[in-house]
Amino acid sequence: MCGRFARSKGLDAIIKRFVLDAIRERWATDPLVSAPQYNVAPSQMAPVIVQDDAREIRPMRWGLVPSWAKEQSIGQKMINARAETLAEKPSFKQLLFTRRCIIPATGFYEWAKSGDGKIPMHFRLKDGGLFGFAGLWDRWKPPQGRELDSFTIITTAPNELLAAVHHRMPVILRQEDEESWLDGDVKDGAALSSRLKPYAADRIEGVEVSRAVNSPAFNRPECILPVSG
């Protein structure tokens, strides 16, 4: 499961990392895209990369609300999608071939069990850089009001590092797989599934962070700082 993540880099870093020069002017003043986010929780908005005619970025709500849903509240149960069953689940099967996306991030949180309660851990690349979660998205049209774009993060079995903390981990795409993941012309289910593997443990590190991160309302740089001691 992935229930919280961070993106400590702003718009310029996203543009450079994911080759998004065409969107700079459009989103430069939108805080939902341009400002870092240190503690993204389900139901909150976050920037998501999609590709139609060109690669672009859109703010979306975390927690997938399928186009056929009767109520927006279903999104609370669909923050993650298991890689192993994407092609079987009605909510995800069609989206796997039509609406794949990448969620920019610099880390994610899991809580390790201890005798003193659960300890928040921040997992990140050792080089501290941006990466992309594999995701799916959809557009929901309510009977009244504005359309809602929302996303889910795909999870897989944990690597050796994460296995000590949790039985799942978010899919971090290898950079060489990002282009084909966004390419709508790629319809080979086996080829897509081959990209949804645990990320190499030797490229990730986990550090204990402040329990202030337990509150989704706490969105400050202190969220990702290691606890000293």
Exactly one of 56, 84, 88, 110 is catalytic; name it.
110
Fold of 5-224: hypothetical protein yedk fold (3.90.1680)
Q: What is the mean pLDDT of each run of 10 residues along the chain (229 residues)?
A: 92 87 64 86 95 87 95 94 92 94 98 89 97 98 89 98 96 96 92 95 97 95 89
Q: Give the model's pLDDT for residue 138.
A: 97
For residue 83, which of 155, 184, 143 has the smallest C-alpha distance?
155
Q: Give the model's pLDDT for residue 90.
A: 86
| Contact assessment for residue 171 and residue 83, using Cβ atoms and an 8 Å cutoff | yes
Q: Is the dihedral of CA 171, 175, 176, 182 positive or negative?
A: positive
Q: Give the model's pLDDT for residue 61.
A: 95
Domain extent listing, the chain: 5-224
Q: Give the model's pLDDT for residue 27.
A: 65
Active site residue 110: yes
Name the pTM for this structure: 0.95
Exactly one of 2, 101, 178, 223 is catalytic; name it.
2
Q: Give the model's pLDDT for residue 33.
A: 75
The residue with tokens 């069953």 is 85
Q: Give the model's pLDDT for residue 185.
A: 92
Q: Give the model's pLDDT for residue 134.
A: 98
For residue 80, which of 179, 5, 164 has the smallest C-alpha distance?
5
Tell me whether strands 131-140 and 148-156 are parallel, antiparallel or unpaired.
Answer: antiparallel
